Structure 1
């Protein structure tokens, strides 16, 4: 099992931090390409497009390539992150699954086969063709840093439909990893 995102941690944000542009290193070529792909995609939510345009969110540099469709080709698992308390707010999987490849045709292109565009401080686990998305689930009395539970939703790739389908939705205990 591979962990794509850093372990789930929550931070208390100062007022106005969420609206402040992200600072840091210049975006990599991959970040630039996937940011543009998301901005050009008609199905990317207006909220995600606004955050990317305003630079209050970025294509997370921890995004990467892994075969999550089971076809032996690398897929792009893209996280959109605020860099603040909201953490990872969107997930996209780009794939060439189902596109013909051969000796004479190498013109495949990455297309979005899965999107979750309304996340809050999400982390991911990938196990073969299953992606698990974990988000905090607070209950009365929980500290802001440490909810007692996480909501875990598992999505498995459906090759016939060329997308991921939810196969489980459960609460799981939160552990800080310390």
Structure 2
């Protein structure tokens, strides 16, 4: 009986120590030098008055980063590359914001004026979001847990689809439904 109590105490001590060690070991992404694109988009988001204070705080305190998976793809259908920028925490919340920067509708003048990337779409309160792209449609998926679901694997995901509306120069929601989670 005494050995059983000692083993429980040892396990109770090992688990918190292991958890503290895991939390103290920073992720590689959090300490890798940011790319030039990450630096530029981080500053653009911090300087943008329409960026929420929560996202600004995540970026300025280094609790999150412009995700290195962010990239360039034409999602507005104008033949020019747009920037899809994800903001991810360095913790369990994963991707917490999505921005689409575009030059859609801008024309370079005869004098060679440059166009500039401007935010045409933003989702700023996501949790563990993933993104799918199909032409000019963005699908944002987030976990939807039900009682009994494992933390890693909810049975369902909430999928919201957004299509680019050239007249409004933004994305509009076209669908909101649950889909089965598949590994």
Given the alignment of the two structures, is residue 97 of structure 1 paired with residue 100 of structure 2, yes or no? Answer: no
How far apart are residue 107 of structure 1 and its match?
1.3
More displaced stretch, 77-86 vs 49-58:
77-86
TM-score (norm 2): 0.83
Scaled by the length of structure 1, the TM-score of the pair is 0.86
Larger mean Cα displacement after TM superposition, 81-90 or 124-133: 81-90
Larger Rg: 2
Structure with more helix by fraction: 2
> Match for residue 85 of structure 1?
92
Does 2:146 align with 1:116?
Answer: no
Matched-pair contact (CA < 8 Å) for 2:145–2:155:
yes
For residues 83 and 128 of structure 1, what CA distance do their matches in structure 2 show? 30
Q: Where do 5+ consecutive residues of structure 1 fail to align?
A: 1-13
Aligned residues: 161
Moved segments of 4+, more than 6 Å: none
Structure 2's unaligned 5+ residue stretches are: 1-18
Matching residue of 2:66: 59
Structure 1 residue 84: Cα displacement: 2.1
